[in-house]
């Protein structure tokens, strides 16, 4: 074997030894009621890529979809719910989602405008004893790898309201984070999806998303 071949095989061995297969996925939550659960089509793959590059997660880049009542929900440490319209959880789905969340899972609800009046009612089925509380700007979620001293950023304008980050807290652990008047997931989508968006605003959204992922996996 000549020197060139030795160098080639040494490089190949180094490349293979440095590769580690993805250890987990994040999933989009599919719900009933007619709302567009499938919205923000490019958001999660872009967020996964950003997290893998910047906070060294090892997510699969393949986006998964999981139904609220499915046993497969327990395969995902982080589940994302978005949409504009109606959301309906059955009694069995509510019980399954509660079991997932109290057992260590995490749900991010991202109001894509118009979700609020539906999702608050449905989450009451899941946690009738809890209420959404707004997290203060000094909460650890905003102080992860990227710093947000003013709290949740405003990505898209809707009704002139400020962006708010609400949480459901179960025995001291945030099990659900709800981004309202923010449109965080829209900021994760491919650049140019929404006219008028800037790269700066998109980067801000991705950084906040990375903080959320990091917090959810380490709290």
User: Model confidence at 21, in pLDDT bands (50, 70, 90)?
Assistant: low
pLDDT, tens digit (0-9, with 9 covering 90-100), for 90-147: 999 999 999 999 999 999 999 999 999 999 999 999 999 999 999 999 999 999 999 9
Left if phi > 0, otherwise alpha if psi is -120 to 50, otherwise beta: which for 56?
Answer: left
pLDDT, tens digit (0-9, with 9 covering 90-100), for 152-177: 999 987 788 899 999 999 999 999 99
pLDDT at 75 over 50: yes
Residue 88: how many other CB atoms lie within 10 Å: 15
pLDDT value for 121: 97
pLDDT at 1 over 70: no
pLDDT value for 192: 82
Q: pTM of whole model > 0.85? A: yes
Q: CA 155, CA 152: separation in Å to the nearest integer?
A: 9
pLDDT value for 22: 62
């Amino acid at each position: 074997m000549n020197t060139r071949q030795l160098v080639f095989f040494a490089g190949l061995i180094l490349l293979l030894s440095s590769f580690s297969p993805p250890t987990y996925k994040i999933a989009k939550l599919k719900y009933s009621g007619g709302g567009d659960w499938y919205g923000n089509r490019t958001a999660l793959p872009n967020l996964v890529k950003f997290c893998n590059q910047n906070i060294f997660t090892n997510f699969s880049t393949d986006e998964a979809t999981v139904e609220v009542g499915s046993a497969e929900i327990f395969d995902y440490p982080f589940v994302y719910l978005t949409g504009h319209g109606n959301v309906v959880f059955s009694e069995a789905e509510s019980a399954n989602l509660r079991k997932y969340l109290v057992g260590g899972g995490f749900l991010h609800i991202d109001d894509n405008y118009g979700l609020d009046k539906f999702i608050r009612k449905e989450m009451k089925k899941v946690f009738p004893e809890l209420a959404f509380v707004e997290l203060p700007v000094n909460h650890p979620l905003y102080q992860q790898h990227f710093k947000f001293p003013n709290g949740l950023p405003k990505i898209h304008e809707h009704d002139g309201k400020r962006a708010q980050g609400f949480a459901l807290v179960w025995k001291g652990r945030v099990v659900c984070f709800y981004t309202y008047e923010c449109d965080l997931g829209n900021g994760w989508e491919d650049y140019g999806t929404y006219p008028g968006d800037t790269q700066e605003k998109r980067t801000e959204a991705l950084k906040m998303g990375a903080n959320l992922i990091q917090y959810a996996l380490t709290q």
